[in-house]
Amino acid sequence: MGYDVHITRRTPWWADGAERITTQEWATVVAADPDLDMVQVARASPRDRQGVLEYRHEWLAQMLTHPERDTHGAWLDWREGQIVVKNPDEILLEKMRAIARLLGARVQGDDDEYYDESVAGPAP
Protein backbone atom coordinates (compact mmCIF):
# COMPACT_ATOMS: atom_id res chain seq x y z
CA MET A 1 0.00 0.00 0.00
CA GLY A 2 1.10 3.58 -0.33
CA TYR A 3 0.15 7.02 -1.49
CA ASP A 4 0.19 7.78 -5.22
CA VAL A 5 0.94 11.12 -6.83
CA HIS A 6 -0.02 11.55 -10.48
CA ILE A 7 1.23 13.61 -13.41
CA THR A 8 -2.07 14.10 -15.17
CA ARG A 9 -4.12 16.27 -17.48
CA ARG A 10 -7.32 15.10 -15.79
CA THR A 11 -9.25 17.12 -13.22
CA PRO A 12 -9.51 15.25 -10.94
CA TRP A 13 -6.90 12.59 -11.77
CA TRP A 14 -9.49 9.77 -11.78
CA ALA A 15 -11.89 11.48 -14.25
CA ASP A 16 -12.82 9.59 -17.38
CA GLY A 17 -12.73 11.12 -20.83
CA ALA A 18 -10.05 13.71 -20.12
CA GLU A 19 -6.97 14.12 -22.29
CA ARG A 20 -4.41 11.42 -21.65
CA ILE A 21 -0.64 11.53 -21.72
CA THR A 22 0.31 9.12 -24.49
CA THR A 23 2.99 6.47 -24.28
CA GLN A 24 4.74 8.25 -27.16
CA GLU A 25 4.83 11.51 -25.17
CA TRP A 26 6.13 9.66 -22.11
CA ALA A 27 8.82 7.82 -24.11
CA THR A 28 9.93 11.13 -25.65
CA VAL A 29 10.26 12.79 -22.22
CA VAL A 30 12.26 9.86 -20.83
CA ALA A 31 14.55 9.65 -23.88
CA ALA A 32 15.32 13.39 -23.70
CA ASP A 33 16.03 13.47 -19.95
CA PRO A 34 19.45 12.17 -18.79
CA ASP A 35 18.00 11.76 -15.26
CA LEU A 36 15.50 9.15 -16.49
CA ASP A 37 15.76 5.67 -17.99
CA MET A 38 12.96 3.40 -19.22
CA VAL A 39 13.89 0.38 -17.08
CA GLN A 40 10.68 -1.67 -17.50
CA VAL A 41 11.44 -3.70 -14.34
CA ALA A 42 11.35 -2.66 -10.67
CA ARG A 43 12.85 -4.90 -8.01
CA ALA A 44 12.63 -4.44 -4.25
CA SER A 45 13.62 -6.47 -1.22
CA PRO A 46 10.96 -5.92 1.45
CA ARG A 47 12.35 -5.54 4.95
CA ASP A 48 9.70 -7.77 6.49
CA ARG A 49 10.09 -10.67 4.02
CA GLN A 50 12.72 -12.73 2.30
CA GLY A 51 13.13 -12.66 -1.43
CA VAL A 52 12.64 -9.99 -4.03
CA LEU A 53 9.44 -8.43 -5.33
CA GLU A 54 9.39 -7.65 -9.02
CA TYR A 55 7.11 -5.44 -11.09
CA ARG A 56 7.31 -5.34 -14.88
CA HIS A 57 5.75 -2.73 -17.08
CA GLU A 58 6.73 -1.56 -20.55
CA TRP A 59 6.43 2.13 -19.56
CA LEU A 60 8.21 2.06 -16.19
CA ALA A 61 11.04 4.57 -15.81
CA GLN A 62 13.52 5.24 -13.02
CA MET A 63 15.10 8.50 -11.89
CA LEU A 64 18.77 7.55 -12.13
CA THR A 65 20.04 10.60 -10.25
CA HIS A 66 17.84 10.10 -7.19
CA PRO A 67 20.17 9.60 -4.19
CA GLU A 68 18.07 6.70 -2.84
CA ARG A 69 17.25 4.98 -6.13
CA ASP A 70 19.05 1.79 -5.08
CA THR A 71 17.06 1.47 -1.84
CA HIS A 72 13.72 3.11 -2.63
CA GLY A 73 13.53 2.79 -6.39
CA ALA A 74 12.51 6.28 -7.59
CA TRP A 75 10.21 4.73 -10.20
CA LEU A 76 7.77 6.62 -12.43
CA ASP A 77 5.09 4.44 -14.01
CA TRP A 78 2.90 5.41 -16.97
CA ARG A 79 -0.58 3.93 -16.52
CA GLU A 80 -3.89 4.72 -18.14
CA GLY A 81 -2.77 8.05 -19.55
CA GLN A 82 -0.87 9.44 -16.58
CA ILE A 83 2.45 8.97 -14.81
CA VAL A 84 2.19 7.65 -11.26
CA VAL A 85 4.76 7.67 -8.44
CA LYS A 86 4.23 5.91 -5.13
CA ASN A 87 5.21 7.83 -1.98
CA PRO A 88 7.40 10.44 -3.72
CA ASP A 89 9.83 12.51 -1.68
CA GLU A 90 10.57 16.16 -2.46
CA ILE A 91 13.29 15.22 -4.98
CA LEU A 92 10.83 13.12 -6.99
CA LEU A 93 8.09 15.73 -6.63
CA GLU A 94 10.40 18.35 -8.15
CA LYS A 95 11.17 16.02 -11.07
CA MET A 96 7.44 15.36 -11.47
CA ARG A 97 6.77 19.12 -11.60
CA ALA A 98 9.35 19.51 -14.37
CA ILE A 99 7.84 16.61 -16.33
CA ALA A 100 4.33 18.01 -15.87
CA ARG A 101 5.42 21.39 -17.26
CA LEU A 102 6.80 19.65 -20.37
CA LEU A 103 3.58 17.70 -20.86
CA GLY A 104 1.11 20.48 -20.11
CA ALA A 105 -0.10 18.53 -17.09
CA ARG A 106 -0.39 18.91 -13.31
CA VAL A 107 0.93 17.01 -10.30
CA GLN A 108 -1.95 15.76 -8.16
CA GLY A 109 -2.15 13.46 -5.14
CA ASP A 110 -4.62 10.66 -4.44
CA ASP A 111 -6.70 13.00 -2.27
CA ASP A 112 -7.13 15.52 -5.11
CA GLU A 113 -4.51 17.98 -3.82
CA TYR A 114 -2.05 19.64 -6.22
CA TYR A 115 1.74 19.72 -5.90
CA ASP A 116 2.42 22.21 -8.68
CA GLU A 117 4.40 24.77 -6.71
CA SER A 118 8.18 24.54 -6.29
CA VAL A 119 7.82 24.46 -2.52
CA ALA A 120 7.39 21.47 -0.25
CA GLY A 121 3.83 20.30 0.18
CA PRO A 122 0.64 20.67 -1.79
CA ALA A 123 -0.39 23.85 -3.57
CA PRO A 124 -3.29 25.69 -1.95
At 74-114, the pLDDT tens digits run 999 999 999 999 999 999 999 999 999 999 999 999 999 99
Give the chain's length: 124
Distance in angstroms (rounded) separating the CA atoms of residues 37 and 23: 14
**Furthest C-alpha separation in the chain:** 42
Nearest to 6 by CA among 117, 120, 106: 106
At residue 124, does pLDDT exceed 50? no
**Position 116 in a domain:** no
Can you give the residue range of the structural domain that contains 16? Answer: 4-109
Nearest to 78 by CA among 14, 1, 23: 23
**Position 117 in a domain:** no
The helix (H) or strand (E) run that includes residue 92 is helix 90-103
**How many domains does the chain divide into?**
1
| Prediction pTM value | 0.85
**Position 114 in a domain:** no
**Position 21 in a domain:** yes
**Position 104 in a domain:** yes
**Position 63 in a domain:** yes
